[in-house]
Amino acid sequence: MSKAPLSILLVEDHLAIARQVLDFLDGLGWQTDHAGTGALAVQLATRNAYEVVLLDLNLPDIDGLQVCRAIKAGAPSNVPVLMLTARDSYEDKARGFRDGADDYLTKPFDLREVALRCEALARRRQLHVHQEMRVGPFTLQTRAGCALYRDAPLPLTQTGFKILLLLCREHPHAVSRSALLQALWGSQPPHSDALKSHIYALRKQLELLGGSGAAGMLVTIPQLGYRLAFDAAASDG
């Protein structure tokens, strides 16, 4: 077993199981955080840099698959997700992988195998530390949190980068306001219309680099959310 300590987020509402896993991983010298709800999991995963997220699907507040999507959309880096669940049918596993899971382990499990899979996922992640995503005129360096527009640096806040990353990942589909709010702020979104302000700021940065045509790529879908459309003009946010 590797001696390099890993940073792990365990998402598990069953306290007895959580304590067993945490005690074992702590015994390896790893750094661990625990979330007993989906809302707390999204909040922690989008504010901290973990090397692996261990995610139980049966959570009391938010479905684990929805939590997985929110973490993948909002985490500061492309953190691997290992799903821990009693759901062992092919359909359940296929749904989990489609929603972003990187690995799948059914309960009951051997804690030593959990650790081995965490190490394998962490190694795989390190191979992609300079991972780039190219969508239309955008290049997103997901590890560094940097964005380019037509190869020119696009100055963005961390929140602006997360919004653009989620829109690029879902392109050409729309991303709902609720999905953006969940990915950015978890269960505690700001009382003011902060999302609209961040969308406006993102459009202004695009306009500074590419004119109104660039700003028009960020389209508002009334009563739904936003999407990227490289051949369309945007309506007002």
User: Residues 102-133: pLDDT tens digits?
Assistant: 999 988 899 999 999 999 888 776 655 546 78
DSSP class of 205: H
Range in 81-85, 138-142, 179-183, 184-188 with the lowest mean pLDDT: 184-188
Domain count, the chain: 2
- 158 and 223 belong to one structural domain: yes
How many CA within 13 A on the CB side of residue 139? 9
- 100 and 78 belong to one structural domain: yes
Q: How confident is the model at residue 233 (pLDDT cuts 50, 70, 90)?
A: very low
Of 126, 154, 185, the residue that ends a domain is: 126
Mean pLDDT over 195-210 rounds to 91
Mean pLDDT over 13-38 rounds to 95
- 173 and 209 belong to one structural domain: yes
Can you give the residue range of the structural domain that contains 146?
Answer: 132-228
**Contact, 46 vs 78, CB < 8 A?**
no
- 197 and 173 belong to one structural domain: yes
Mean pLDDT over 143-169 rounds to 88
pLDDT tens by residue, 46-64 = 888 899 999 998 899 998 9
Q: Which residues, listed in sequence order, are joined to residue 135 by a DSSP beta bridge?
A: 138
Mean pLDDT over 3-18 rounds to 89
The three-point CA angle 10-186-92 to 5° equals 55
In a domain, 190, yes or no: yes
How many residues does the structure list for the chain?
237
Work out the mean pLDDT of the chain and round it to a whole number: 86
In a domain, 235, yes or no: no
User: Is residue 194 pLDDT above 50, yes or no?
Assistant: yes
Q: Which tokens go with 115?
A: 């650790």
In a domain, 233, yes or no: no
In a domain, 234, yes or no: no
Q: How confident is the model at residue 232 (pLDDT cuts 50, 70, 90)?
A: very low
- 139 and 88 belong to one structural domain: no
CA distance 149 to 214: 9
- pLDDT at position 72: 86
- 57 and 168 belong to one structural domain: no
- 82 and 141 belong to one structural domain: no
In a domain, 2, yes or no: no
Q: Percentage of the chain with pLDDT > 70?
A: 92
- 23 and 74 belong to one structural domain: yes
- 122 and 11 belong to one structural domain: yes
> pTM, whole model, 2 decimals?
0.56
- 19 and 68 belong to one structural domain: yes
